[in-house]
């Protein structure tokens, strides 16, 4: 059976890494058909808007999108196209795995295998109540945390622990200072945790969590937290295991899910064939899990690891002399 997904090739290095990712997916014969849609600068040039209605309709219809990074031009309405997509489809769970891979020159070449589950729609990123006083001396911002938002993200984290056979969920907060917002998140998280007695649960204040992550990342399994903390923690975790070229992310909602690399359009290397395709490929792995093809997701991840182990055709960010497509081809031969 085939399934149609929306494919957004994006800006900068986007088309190069998407070509590479689709090359590998095609080699795997996972039964996917691609509906290619525009977003970002390409869409602005072709259709006069950053997020054309046809692209939104395609995601709504197919419910699954694989997306390359997009450039948000300054002064074009949205604060970020990605934030806008998350809002429009209510993609409330941002799921970012960080895993040690061989030959990445990272600080933790072994021992890290954790997932950050970040609330993706509320907290400090709601874009409301931002103001600067006339004298330019005082800035304000509104944060919003709801019981519903907290409950569904914590439940998502515990359900993920159950389905992925993970043992522990760490609730990360700052309820000692942010008593209303983080306080509500923690209270609800504790209530939800009680419904999953078989999963170990602990709590950490965000600053301590950052220190623990740098010193002993192997103690973490799944981290669940609010939007701003999750944004920072997930990048910290990407840094532990080798940087942006290996960091995937999934944005999950009830009506749609968008899978992407954590990194941006990398204008400094765009068009040179130097971009590492692994982050998008690992996101494609998350997508395969999501659409009920866990064996293929594992096949893909194992082929990536085998290629890294063999140091075969790796891109320059990993110390290799290969290029985007040679790396993808080396992965495809190990599928
Ligand atoms: P960036 O992630 O594009 O680049 C940061 C550094 O990492 C650069 O030196 C780049 O060459 C390197 N890098 C990134 N991806 C790489 C890859 N796959 N292989 C090898 N090296 C890689 O971040 P930057 O420069 O801050 O942002 C550039 C643009 O991307 C901005 O317009 C920003 O708005 C957009 N952006 C889009 C995102 C998305 O669509 N999800 C996420 C983050 C940024």
Q: Whose CA is nearest to atom 26 of ligand 1?
A: 264
Does ligand 1 come within 6 angstroms of the Cβ of 331?
A: no
d(CA 117, CA 97): 9
Q: Which of 156, 140, 136 is nearest to 148 (CA)?
A: 156
Instruction: Kindly give the distance from the C-alpha atom of residue 197 to the centroid of ligand 1, in angstroms, as a whole number.
Output: 40
Task: Look at residue 83 in the predicted model and tell me its pLDDT.
Answer: 84
Does ligand 1 come within 6 angstroms of the Cβ of 18?
A: no
Does ligand 1 come within 6 angstroms of the Cβ of 279?
A: yes
Residue numbers in the chain where pLDDT is lower than 70: 75-79
CB 152 within 8 A of CB 257: no
- Mutation choice for ligand 1 from 266, 275, 319, CB with most ligand atoms inside 8 A: 266
d(CA 70, CA 54): 17
pLDDT tens-digit profile of 243-267? 789 999 999 999 999 999 999 999 9
For residue 203 the two structure tokens come to 């709590």
Task: Look at residue 77 in the predicted model and tell me its pLDDT.
Answer: 63
Q: Whose CA is nearest to atom 6 of ligand 1?
A: 266
pLDDT tens-digit profile of 144-163? 999 999 999 999 999 999 99
Does ligand 1 come within 6 angstroms of the Cβ of 244?
A: yes
Does ligand 1 come within 6 angstroms of the Cβ of 70?
A: yes
Q: Which of 259, 257, 215, 265 is nearest to 236 (CA)?
A: 215
Q: Whose CA is nearest to atom 4 of ligand 1?
A: 266
Measured N-to-C along each axis, helices 14-28 and 324-332 cross at an angle, to the nearest 10 degrees, of: 10
CB within 8 A of 315, min separation 6: which ones? 245, 274, 275, 276, 277, 322, 323, 324, 327
Instruction: Kindly give the distance from the C-alpha atom of residue 135 to the centroid of ligand 1, in angstroms, as a whole number.
Output: 35
Tell me the catalytic residues. Answer: 125, 174, 207, 231
d(CA 112, CA 109): 8
**Within 13 Å, how many C-alpha atoms sit on residue 146's CB side?**
8
pTM of the model: 0.95
CB 23 within 8 A of CB 14: no
How would you write the chain as a 3-class SS string?
A: CCEEEEEECCCCCHHHHHHHHHHHHHHHCCCEEEEEECCCHHHHHHHCCCCCHHHHHHHHHHCEEEECCCCCCCCCCCCCHHHHHHHHCCCCEEEEEEECCCCCCCCCCCCCEEEEEEECCCECCCCCCCEECCCCCCEECCCECCHHHHHHHHHHHHHHHHHCCCCEEEEEECCCCCCCHHHHHHHHHHHHHCCCCCCEEEEEEHHHHHHHHHHCHHHCCEEEECHHHHHHHHHHHHHHCCCHHHCEEEEECCCCEEEEECCCCCCCCCCCCCCCCHHHHHHHHHHHHHCCCHHHHHHHHHHHHHHHHCCCCCCHHHCCCCCHHHHHHHHHCCC
Instruction: Kindly give the distance from the C-alpha atom of residue 298 to the centroid of ligand 1, in angstroms, as a whole number.
Output: 26
- Mutation choice for ligand 1 from 38, 66, 69, CB with most ligand atoms inside 8 A: 69
Q: Whose CA is nearest to atom 16 of ligand 1?
A: 245
Does ligand 1 come within 6 angstroms of the Cβ of 323?
A: no
Task: Look at residue 235 in the predicted model and tell me its pLDDT.
Answer: 92
Q: Whose CA is nearest to atom 30 of ligand 1?
A: 264
- Give the chain's domains with CATH numbers: 1-99+244-335 (3.40.718.10), 113-240 (3.40.718.10)
Q: Whose CA is nearest to atom 43 of ligand 1?
A: 264
């Amino acid at each position: 059976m085939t399934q149609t997904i929306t494919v957004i090739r994006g800006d900068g290095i986007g088309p190069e890494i998407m070509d590479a990712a689709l090359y590998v997916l095609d080699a795997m014969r996972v039964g996917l058909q691609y509906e290619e849609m525009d977003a970002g600068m390409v869409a602005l040039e072709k259709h006069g808007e950053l997020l054309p209605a046809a692209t939104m309709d395609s995601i709504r219809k197919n419910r699954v999108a694989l997306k390359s990074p997009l450039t948000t031009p300054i002064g074009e309405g949205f604060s970020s196209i990605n934030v806008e997509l998350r809002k429009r489809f209510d993609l409330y769970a941002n799921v970012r795995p960080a895993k040690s891979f061989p030959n990445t020159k990272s600080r933790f070449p072994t021992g890290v295998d954790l997932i950050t589950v970040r609330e993706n729609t509320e907290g400090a990123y709601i874009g409301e109540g931002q103001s600067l006083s006339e004298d330019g001396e005082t800035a304000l911002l509104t944060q919003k945390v709801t019981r519903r938002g907290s409950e569904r993200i914590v439940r998502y984290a515990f359900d993920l622990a159950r389905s992925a056979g993970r043992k522990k969920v760490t609730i990360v907060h700052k309820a000692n200072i942010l008593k209303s917002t983080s306080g509500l998140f923690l209270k609800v998280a504790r209530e939800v945790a009680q419904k999953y007695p078989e999963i170990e649960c602990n709590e950490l204040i965000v600053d301590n969590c950052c220190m623990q992550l740098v010193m002993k990342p192997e103690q973490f399994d799944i981290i669940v937290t609010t939007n701003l903390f999750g944004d920072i923690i997930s990048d910290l975790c990407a840094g532990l295991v080798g940087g942006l070229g290996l960091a995937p992310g999934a944005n999950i909602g009830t009506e749609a899910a968008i899978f992407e690399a954590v990194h941006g359009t990398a204008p400094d290397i765009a068009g040179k064939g130097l971009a590492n395709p692994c982050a998008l490929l690992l996101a494609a792995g998350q997508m395969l899990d999501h659409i009920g093809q866990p064996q293929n997701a594992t096949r893909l991840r194992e082929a990536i690891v085998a290629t890294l182990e063999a140091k075969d055709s790796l891109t320059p960010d990993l110390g290799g002399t290969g290029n985007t497509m040679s790396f993808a081809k080396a992965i495809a031969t190990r599928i």
